[in-house]
Amino acid sequence: MQVLINILFFTFLGSVASLIGGVILLSREKFATRISHYLTAFAAGTLLGTAFFDLLPEAQKQARQTDLFFWVLTGMLFFFLLEQIFHWFHHHQHGHGEEISKSAVPLMLLGDSVHNFIDGIVIAATFLVSAPLGVVTALAVGAHEIPQEIGDFAILLHAGIKPKKVLLFNFLSACVSFAGALTTYFLADLARGLLPIFLSVTAGFFIYIASSDLIPEINSEQKKKSSLLKTLTLFSGVFIIWIFLFLLEK
């Protein structure tokens, strides 16, 4: 029962509580826009740190005949394919170079819901291994969700959706993570046999998100001072995960 409580609490922390990024945008748009790049850099660092310091070492401990490198690559390719599918539908919904229309909003929310469902699976699967692994993973999920929510809120507001509806839509989408978490928990016997694969795929997911979505956004800013600060922020994300894991082990 304690494992289930931990899963539900940290799923809430990693997914639903990350809506704070969108709330900041609604209340202080200029401030949210100014810090979003630094939040993105920090998130990239936490994702990379969690993948290489936590998920992959744990998968290696549990792996017997499992080819971890194959499943890391599978995770990266799967999420690349998933992202391309949503981009393709999104492109055909409103056309290249045009402003996002309300007709594209349901597709965007569907994409977010699938993403949140996977986040729930990831958090629950890691808690089935150990509480420290689950905690670190949930924190990494939350870190990358906050800047993403700022972007999602901005897109929906730009599409003409009222702020209250934007908040409601994103809250309902975030709640889908509980479905992923509960599904994984109640299929724990099946999930435990696949944990090295789950961990490796999750590491691939984190590496892909950090390297394809977050880091390019960091590099888009050409100002030297800003680039230096974001670089330091990314490294601090990696360092904090390393320190956090060291303290948990102690």
Checking 102-109 for CB contacts under 8 A at 24+ apart, the result is: 102/159, 102/160, 102/161, 104/159, 105/156, 105/159, 105/161, 105/169, 108/152, 108/155, 108/156, 109/169, 109/173
Alpha-carbon distance 233 to 115, whole Å? 25
* Confidence class for position 26, pLDDT limits 50, 70, 90: confident
* Confidence class for position 8, pLDDT limits 50, 70, 90: very high
Report, as an integer, the average pLDDT of 63-82. Answer: 86
The pLDDT of residue 154 is above 70: yes
Where helices occur in the chain by DSSP H, the ranges are: 2-11, 20-27, 29-50, 56-62, 68-94, 105-129, 131-158, 163-186, 188-193, 195-208, 215-219, 224-249
- Domain residue spans in the chain? 2-249
Highest average pLDDT, of 32-46, 72-86, 99-113, comes from 72-86
In the chain, what percentage of residues exceed pLDDT 90? 13
* Confidence class for position 181, pLDDT limits 50, 70, 90: very high
Alpha-carbon distance 31 to 28, whole Å? 5
Average pLDDT of the chain to the nearest whole number:
80
* Confidence class for position 156, pLDDT limits 50, 70, 90: confident
The pLDDT of residue 40 is above 50: yes
- Helices 131-158 & 224-249, crossing angle to 10 degrees? 150
DSSP 98-134: SPP-GGGHHHHHHHHHHHHHHHHHHHHHHHHH-HHHH
Fill in the DSSP letter of residue 55.
I
Q: Which residue did the predictor score with more confidence, 184 or 33? A: 184
Q: Give the pair of three-digit tokens for residue 221.
A: 């800013």
Cβ–Cβ under 8 Å, residues 14 and 138: yes
The pLDDT of residue 186 is above 60: yes
pTM, full prediction: 0.72
pLDDT tens, 197-225?
A: 888 888 898 898 888 877 887 777 666 66
* Confidence class for position 113, pLDDT limits 50, 70, 90: confident
Dihedral angle computed from the Cα positions of residues 174, 87, 43 and 145, in that order, rounded to the nearest 10 degrees: -10
